[in-house]
Structure 1
Amino acid sequence: MHVKIPVSQLEPGMVLAEDVLRPGGALVAARGTVIAKRHAGLFRLHQVASVLVEPTGGRAGQEPEAPLDPLVLEAARDHLRSRFLFAGIKHPALAELFRLCQPRVARAMVRKKTAFPDPPAPLLPADDQDDETGPLPSPEEIAAADPALVSLPDVFARICEVLNSPVSTASDAARVIGMDQSLAAKLLRLVNSAFYGFPTKVDTLSRAVTIVGSRQLTTLALGISVVSLFRDLPPGLVEVKAVWKHSVACGLAASALAGCAACGRDGMERLFVAGLLHDVGRLVLYRNLPRPSGRALWLARRKNMLLCLAERQVFGFDHATLGGVLLSGWRFPENLIRAVRSHHGPGRPAWTVEPAVVHVADLVVNAMRMGSSGEIFVPPLVPEAFATLGVAPGALGEAMARVDEQVESVLAVFLPDDA
């Protein structure tokens, strides 16, 4: 006899006993589909509360994972303690995150045959060992001095207009996005990736707008447009692929948390883009001020400092502040500006959902060591930010599962072709 179970109780390897349909009747997953980690989020996305599965659901021939050596688990615990130096594990969410990360670090140690050492601090030339002489430019001066950040492509400005207009239509969104063939192609690749997991291919922009929504798709187009501005970074600071993997992972974690938090389904694309762009200010610093950026990295690693604090010591501001200035100059929607500018702290007593979600998502992917934009520690969790989400610590495991399941597929959309 087939068994009907809530989506929250699905486990990988279960097999669907009947087609899963959206409330409107559209197919989400076909009968016989073997459940993977992503399916629970996909079903919730389409407002499916429960599904019918085969009673003995299980993947044929699947072997259980070998148990981990207790000595390796202990080594992984020691390694994680060093990375959780500033975060600690007193908060229940951090304790849960530490617990979830321990076996994945242990398996990485076994797989890579390494004690998982942190990357060495960048070497500075002798004339950079002392403090910089003369003032460094302000965030506004940095943004104004970079022609690539000032003279944006016309399609970028038009996307912002559509997104900021309360009367824009689906046809407006498709028309503007279609002006840039490369952008349109990348957007369709994203819509057809594991990010959505649609059962059938979406092959036109008009259909993508109909299925996803005009404002949601336009927001995604905005994120793709910004990524295209940062195809290269100076060598010796960070790896391009590692930076974008961290950014994509943060976007995926943020969108997963959005589905659990107060913003709900409607915030998924918005918070994906906020997570994707949360470190854009750091990329500008690396590209425009590589020597002071190298000093900030050196300080953080040699002095055991959080990188954002080292940035404030070197520049007088951090990457989040610069990111907010950039997005304001580009006329991004205010909720995205706030999410990027305030993901390390709101600068006022109250947190709002957007920066709180990105704050927690950034912490999760740093703990997972999913790529890196330069930070080697797990940032501390602000309890008020986690409380703003209104989720249980178990939501962090769902966010991690989504990142693991989707990051490579979605990264392929954003990673520059020549990287």
Structure 2
Amino acid sequence: MDIGRLRAETPGCEQVVHLNNAGAALPPKQVIDAVAEHLGLEATIGGYEASDQAEPARERFYDAVAGLIGAERDEIAYVENATRAWDMAFYSIPFAPGDRILTTTSEYPSNAIPYMQMARRRGVEVDVVPDDEHGQISLDALQAELDKGGVRLVSLNHVPTHNGLVNPAEEVGRLCRDANVLYLLDACQSIGQIRVDVGEIGCDMLSATGRKFLRGPRGTGFLYVRRSILRTLEPPFLDLHSASWTAPDTYEIRDDARRFENWERYVAGQIGLGVAAEVAAEMGLPAIEERVTGLATRLREALAERPGVTVLDRGERRSGIVTFTVEGHDARELKLSWREQGINVSVTDGATQHYDSKTAPAAIRASAHYYNTEEEIDRLVAAVPVP
């Protein structure tokens, strides 16, 4: 990678040491220009007219995202964010009383809450699969739960938001296929930092955001739904885009994944997200992953040598997300202090992780991307206070 060129194409690199890519990455100039150009067109000729004129760019989004994850364009829906994409998939599943949902200890709160709502509304059961010795989902325990029967859905986060690991998504997919069980993968933190191929993983549905490692605009995301199950899922709500009003008392839902879309949308964002997917594909996800995980490993190793620092990451395979605590220092106060020094990090709130007993009450989350430098990693380490 030509890091100098990549940083030159990322205006934010001149302003901050941005290690909050798991929150929202700095967008490249290609994405910024695409969004700004369409917003300018809307301001000049009108929103509807601009959307019509930009139809080729809007349609290119479906090809770009599909190509990025090994899908077909009719399996892709543009959605406002990853949470709403996940919701559209989850709430479309026709759960029945007694159906079981299997998830992991590191589940994200915005996913766990709908499980509980569905348990109250439909009488489903939610079972948390324990971790293995590495701290990731135990495949043996998952197999045992599948063998019990009654499982309607396995719902997994690919890269948890708070502990640095990468769950074994492909192995989970194999078990789900063998058991003929639906598999929903939350790829919010993995898309853009590691290679994701839905065919190899075997997931039936996948949700993702634009703003994180994919480096797209905020307020954008997408949903993948395997073509073979599309007609078995009815979206929780419909409009004149996702369905057609065919007679006074009848309607027909679209056959493709756009049944999960709204008519009204952030058109500039959709165009920008398509560009972001093209940028990532052009660079190559294997190269991106090598760079990101290399920087994260450097950070973990350097932090482990600092007195009073505890690195909390686990997992046999680890991502670009690094979590740690500093003895005697509040994580939120450190975040604000470092922000004043031009270093961006985030804080994970362990109090919201009710399935995960190993999570600290609050920890620093630093997340590297390929445009970060070794010097920036060292600068964060040097800013860590010594007890």
Q: TM-score, normalised on structure 1?
A: 0.24
Q: Which has the higher contact order (CA 8 A, sep 6+)?
A: 2
The structure with the greater share of residues assigned to helix is: 1
The structure with the greater share of residues assigned to strand is: 2
Q: TM-score, normalised on structure 2?
A: 0.25
